[in-house]
Amino acid sequence: MNKLSFNLKAFIKESVDVLLNPKSYFSKMKTTGGVAEPLTKALIYGALAGIIGFLWYKADLGSTILLGKAHGFMTIIWFMVIAIVVLFVGGLLLMFISALCKGSNDYEANVRVTAAVMVLMPFSVLLGFVGDLNVIAGVIVSLAINIFSLYIIYFGLTETLKANPTTAKIVIIVLILLTALLMIIGIGTKKSVNNLNKNFKEIMENVKKD
C-alpha cells in the first residue's frame, strides 16, 4: 500500500525550477500518480497566498481580493478554497487549450501542469497592494504576472502535454493580447467609477451646505 508523503525539499526545488527554468521542469514532469500531489501543491500555494493576504490586511497595505470582509485565519482558509477551485477548473480550461493545440487531453496531466503554474499565486497576492497605491502601477504588475504565467503555461503545453509549438505560441499570444485589452478596459472603468464617486461626494457636500 502506497503511503501519501510530502517532501518539502522537493517541493521547494520544483517551485524554483518552474519559475527559473520552466522548459526543463515541464520536460521532466510526471503526468500520472493521482491528484493528491497536485492538490497538495495547490493547497500550499493557497495557504501561502492567504498568509500574505492576512499580513497585508493587518499592515493596512491592501485588501484581500475576492474575500470580502474575511480576515484572520479565515483569509487563509478562503485562499485555500480558491486554490482548489483554480486547480480543478483551471485543469479543465487548460485541457481545452491543450486539445485546441493538439496536445494531451488527459485531465490529470492538465491538472498537474495547472498546479505547477499556481506557484505564482502567492506572488500575485504579495504584489497585490501595488494596485491600492496606484491604479496604473497595479495594472502593470498584474499584467506582468499574467504574462509570465502564460509564458510558463506555454512550456507546460509544449513540453508536458506535447501540444503543437506553433499553435500553442499563437494561442498564448492571443491570450496575452486579450489579457492586456481587458486590463486597459479595467483601468478606464475604474477611473470612471472613481470620478463618479468623486462627483457624487461633491454633490452631497453641496446639498448639505444648502
Cell (9 digits) for 62: 491592501
The number of beta carbons lying within 10 Å of the beta carbon of residue 98 is 25
Contacts of 157 (CB under 8 A, 6+ apart): 94, 97, 98, 101, 103, 113, 163, 168, 172
Return per-residue pLDDT of the chain as tens, 210 residues.
344 557 888 999 999 999 999 999 999 999 999 999 999 999 999 999 999 888 887 776 655 444 444 556 788 899 999 999 999 999 999 999 999 999 999 999 999 999 999 999 999 988 877 877 777 787 888 899 999 999 999 999 999 999 999 999 999 999 999 988 887 786 666 655 555 555 545 555 655 565
Please report, in angstroms and rounded to a whole number, the separation of the first and last CA atoms in the chain.
79
Quick check: 141 and 105 in contact, CB under 8 A?
A: no
- pTM score, whole prediction: 0.82
